[in-house]
Amino acid sequence: MNTLCRVGRPSANIAAHQDIQLSGAHILDEHCLFETKDGVVTMIPCEGAQCYVNGRQITEPAVLKTGSRVIFGKSHVFRFNHPAQGKEAMCVFELTCAHTLRIHVYLSVNVMNEYRVTVSLTQFDAL
Q: What is the CATH number of the domain that holds 119?
A: 2.60.200.20
- DSSP annotation of 29 reads S
Is the Cβ–Cβ distance between 39 and 89 less than 8 Å?
yes
Backbone angles phi, psi at 53, to 5 degrees: -130, 120
Residue 27 structural domain: 2-123
Compute how many other C-beta atoms are within 10 angstroms of the C-beta atom of residue 99.
10
User: What is the chain's pLDDT, residue by residue, as a tens digit (127 residues)?
Assistant: 578 888 998 887 776 678 888 888 899 999 999 988 887 889 999 999 999 999 999 999 999 887 788 999 988 888 887 654 333 444 555 555 545 555 566 666 555 556 666 655 555 554 4
Distance CA 57, CA 35 (A): 18
Residue 30, C-beta contacts closer than 8 angstroms, at least 6 positions apart = 6, 8, 12, 14, 18, 46, 49
Domain count, the chain: 1
